[in-house]
Structures are given as C-alpha cells and as structure tokens.
Amino acid sequence: MKTFRNKEGKKILFSMVKAIQDNKAYLSEVDGLIGDGDHGANMNKGFTVFETRFKEENISFTDGLAELGTILLTEIGGSMGPIYGTILIDMAEAAEDKDEIDLNTFSKMLSTGLEGLSGIVDAKVGDKTLVDTLAPAVDALNNAVKENKSFDAALIDMKKAAEAGRESTKNLVAKFGRSSRLGERSRGVLDAGATSCCIILTAMADSINDLLVKESANVQ
C-alpha cells in the first residue's frame, strides 16, 4: 500500500501556503460579492505567518498542521480562523503518532477534522459553507477506503468531490454568516469558505501524490 512519510510533509504544507497566497485576491473577490471581502487577506495572513516561522525548520505533516491550525485559530481575524484552526488541529491529532501515512490514516484525519468542525458550527451540507466542500471530500475518501482503491486514485476522487461541492454552493442560499442576511440574493455566487477549502484540499492532494510517486520510486 502506498504511503508517505510524515516527516516529509513540509512539502504538502508549503504547497497549501502557496495555493492560498496565489489565490488571495480571488478569494477576497469571491467573498466581497456577498460577504466582508476579507477572506483572502485573512487566510493569506495566517498562511504567510506559518511560512515565515517554519520555512527554515524541519517539520512533519502533522506537526505543521497543528502549528498552522493554531496560527489560524489565534492570530487572524474573521470567522474562518477558528473554523480552519479546528479542522487542521483535529486532523493533526488524529495521526500525530504516525511515521507513515496511508490512505486509511489520511481518510481518518480528514474525517476527524470534519467531526471537530461539527462540534463548533451547526452548518450542514446545503447551507452554503465550506462544509459543502469538506463533507463530500471526506465521503470520497471513506468510500475509496471501503472499495480498496489506491491512495492516488482516492486523491483524485477527493479532488473531484471537493470541486463539485464548491460548485454546488453557487446555487445555494446562505444560512450562516453575514451573507445569510441576503437571503435569496446570496444565490448565484460561490461561497468563499467552500472555495478556499477546495483550493487547500487540491493543493494537499497534488503534493501528497507527488510524495507517493517519490516513495514508489524509492522502493523500486
């Protein structure tokens, strides 16, 4: 079974950082259509703080998720800091003792992140939040485990599910946050949190796949 080494997870973390930095303006643009317009700036602030503090450090995937989550939870403004902070910290705790991360472990990590989120917010699929991206991604991984799919195939499924979830928010009416005040007027626009979640999950999947290829090459 394909795995990647936890200690080599810095590559994944910094690909997530770059993805947020590259999409800072876009995320704020999306958010500005029905929200405060600061989602991209706030996310970029937190991810860039992480980059600055740990660019010279050797840090594992789970340790990095915990550190990034703590920064987002405690050091950035807006409602999304606690949300992403909770997800990432809970993901880290689900596998902090693992030297090798396989599909089962990664699926458990993302599931635990979603469970942690459900403990602090009431949002469900269909409420036009990042749950519309994260929950289908979790389901895709869990289904891949049940079907004994390879790790790389599961990552493709996860990305497709996240993208479909993000796109689904365009036709939904917001139930939470500032945009919920708009009612029907919130329909027709992507949710900013669902969009950033898709960006993060896609970066995570692509960089994990790069590590799986590297590990496979080392074995051969």
State how far the Cα of 200 lies from the Cα of 20, in Å rounded to an integer.
7
State how far the Cα of 5 lies from the Cα of 139, in Å rounded to an integer.
24
Q: What is the CATH number of the domain that holds 40?
A: 1.25.40.340
pLDDT of residue 220: 45
For 117, the token pair is: 């989120």
Residue 148 has phi, psi (to 5 degrees) of 55, 40
pLDDT of residue 186: 66
DSSP labels for 36-51?
-S-HHHHHHHHHHHHH
pLDDT of residue 172: 86
pLDDT of residue 96: 87
State how far the Cα of 155 lies from the Cα of 104, in Å rounded to an integer.
12
Length of the chain: 220
pLDDT, tens digit, for every residue of 143-154? 999 999 999 999
Pair 108, 82: CB distance under 8 Å: no
* Total number of domains in the chain: 1
Between the alpha carbon of residue 163 and those of residues 33, 84, 138, 159, the distances in Å are: 20, 18, 13, 6
- Residue 195: what residue type? T
Pair 14, 202: CB distance under 8 Å: no
* Model-wide pTM > 0.85: yes
pLDDT of residue 213: 76
Provide the residue range defining the domain that includes 123.
Answer: 4-219
Q: Give every residue of the chain whose pLDDT is below 50, as ranges.
A: 220
